[in-house]
Amino acid sequence: MKEQPKGKSMTAFQQYVTKTSKMLLVGEIIRARSFLGEGTTPEGYQQLADTGIEELMNDSNILRAAVALAREIEVSESVRRSIAASKAPSGSKSGPLLS
């Protein structure tokens, strides 16, 4: 979505789409920041709301990639722990209490 050149006014529908897109992008950025451990203050929210849509799209794409990477790391670490646990020596599976 490109911003309109100066001198051209947006139609009501274009304004609606732009406003809705900005709201969705701001929400996505806030959720991504939260997932990555960074909160958003009211001042930070206002700053995002005042940011242009192109910059919000760029920030959103970067944060989306960072969240995907963080999730991949979590899964990798979980698999690594699971493999290590399965290779760890286990206690005897027989005995007086196990019959």
Instruction: Tell me the per-residue pLDDT of 26-82, one tens digit each, with 9 for 90 and over.
Output: 999 999 999 999 989 999 999 999 999 999 999 999 999 999 999 999 999 999 999
Q: In terms of residue numbers, what domain contains 46? A: 12-81
Give the global pTM. 0.71
- What distance in Å separates the CA atoms of residue 58 and residue 77, rounded to the nearest whole number? 29
When pLDDT is averaged across residues 11-24 and rounded to a whole number, the result is: 94
Asked if residue 4 is part of any domain, the answer here is: no
Asked if residue 34 is part of any domain, the answer here is: yes
pLDDT at 9: 85
Please check whether residue 63 is in contact with residue 32, taking contact to mean a CB–CB distance below 8 angstroms: yes
Asked if residue 71 is part of any domain, the answer here is: yes
